[in-house]
Amino acid sequence: MAESHYVGRFAPTPSGYLHFGSLVAAVASYLDARAVGGRWLVRMEDLDPPREVPGAQAAILDTLERYGFEWDGPVERQSERSEAYMAVIEQWLRSGLAYACTCSRKQLDGLHIYPGTCRNAVHPLEDAALRIRVPELEYAFIDRVQGEFRQHLGREVGDFIIRRRDGLYAYQLAVVIDDAWQGVTDIVRGADLLDSTPRQLYLQELLGVTQPRYLHVPLIIQPDGHKLGKSYRSPPLPPDHAAPLLIRALHALGQQPPGELAGAMPREVLAWGIGSWDATRIPRVHSIPEAQLE
Ligand code: GLU
Ligand code: ZN
């Protein structure tokens, strides 16, 4: 296949095992990359050791292998990237864009967005959360599946945390720095992250990096409306049902795998997916109840 400038990625958080909802996101990002001869990276978003499930990192990679995924290059780990994150934060502290916030949880209790209490105070950095100032501006982008999405950062988000009081770096910061560092051109992920995207566009603007393309796939939800894997424990993907579950993920993404594929090996299912990938068939919805899938 001709050389491609596409770089995609799958970025699991090891606070749990892969479940069907994460499989749908992995399949979408993999097929979207490989269908154009692009690269596909795996990045472990292990920013929060206290919430990490022991063994989850190895289990996630093992499951990806058993399901037939092949990634390019080494698996990068966010736990090894603290220096890069801190270098950026230091720059923003110096310019006054970032500031220390000592508000207690109690002080912020019941507030929809952070009211900017510490914006002009000069607190020491120790034992403080670090926040980034947001402008009174709307950030918008065109998602390849969901269409236009816009959010006013001042009114709907507020100054947000880039490093927690306990010293852990925030997802919003790490994801932007690492996607830029790894040269990611296309972000394909679950629609639960649609409303994180304007914050990420803003940080990309501050860093002066190129904005990637975005494609948010429907979230697979439980009958009670909860996201799979998050709000309560959904079962990890079984190792021995890879092909049928990959086929189910293809259906969730609006693709139409032929019945004969049911008996195939996982890698063959993915190969069919690469050859037939049509992102315009992905349902333009934010979520799909799991029970609706065949
Ligand atoms: N680590 C995030 C998650 O597992 C995904 C981040 C992303 O794709 O931007 O929900
Ligand atoms: Zn504060």
Ligand 1 geometric centre to CA of 186 (Å): 13
Ordered structural domains, the chain, with CATH: 7-77+218-293 (3.40.50.620)
Residue bearing the bigger pLDDT, 234 or 99: 99
pLDDT for 266 equals: 97
According to the annotation, is 189 in a ligand binding site?
Answer: yes
According to the annotation, is 43 in a ligand binding site?
Answer: no
Cβ(45) to ligand 1 under 6 A?
Answer: yes
Cβ(32) to ligand 1 under 6 A?
Answer: no
> Residue 221: in which H helix or E strand, if any?
strand 219-221
The single-letter DSSP state of residue 140 is: E
pLDDT for 292 equals: 87
Q: What does pLDDT average to over the chain? A: 94
pLDDT band at residue 230 using 50, 70 and 90 as cut-offs:
low
pLDDT for 231 equals: 46
> Residue 200: in which H helix or E strand, if any?
helix 197-207
Ligand 2 geometric centre to CA of 128 (Å): 9
Ligand 1: which atom is nearest the Cα of residue 25? 8
Best of 7, 20, 63, 175 for a ligand 1 pocket test (most atoms within 8 Å of beta carbon) = 175
Best of 7, 10, 13 for a ligand 1 pocket test (most atoms within 8 Å of beta carbon) = 13
pLDDT for 224 equals: 73
State both tokens at 91. 């720059």
pLDDT for 227 equals: 74
The single-letter DSSP state of residue 282 is: S
Of 223, 229, 93, which is closest to residue 162 (Cα–Cα)?
Answer: 93
Ligand 1 geometric centre to CA of 85 (Å): 17
| Calpha distance 58→19 (Å, rounded) | 15
Burial 40-49 (b: 16+ CB within 10 A, else e): bbbbbbbbbe
* pLDDT at 76 > cutoff 80: yes
Percent of the chain scoring above 90 in pLDDT: 90
pLDDT for 207 equals: 98
Ligand 1 geometric centre to CA of 225 (Å): 20
Ligand 1: which atom is nearest the Cα of residue 175? 9
| Calpha distance 115→232 (Å, rounded) | 31
Please give the average per-residue pLDDT across 44-64, as a whole number. 96
Cβ(28) to ligand 1 under 6 A?
Answer: no
Ligand 2 geometric centre to CA of 161 (Å): 10
- The pLDDT tens digits for 238-282 are 988 999 999 999 999 999 999 999 999 999 999 999 999 999 999
> Residue 268: in which H helix or E strand, if any?
helix 266-276
- The pLDDT tens digits for 93-138 are 999 999 999 999 999 999 999 999 999 998 999 999 999 999 999 9
- The pLDDT tens digits for 136-167 are 999 999 999 999 999 999 999 999 999 999 99
- Nearest-CA residue for ligand 1 atom 5 is 11
Tokens 């491609």 locate to: 4
pLDDT for 222 equals: 82
State both tokens at 216. 């948010």
DSSP 43-112: EE----GGGPPTTHHHHHHHHHHHTT---SSPPEEGGG-HHHHHHHHHHHHHTTSEEEE---HHHHTT-S
Cβ(189) to ligand 1 under 6 A?
Answer: yes
- The pLDDT tens digits for 177-199 are 999 999 999 999 999 999 999 99
Strands 219-221 and 213-217: unpaired
Ligand 1: which atom is nearest the Cα of residue 189? 8
| Calpha distance 153→160 (Å, rounded) | 10
Please give the average per-residue pLDDT across 62-72, as a whole number. 97
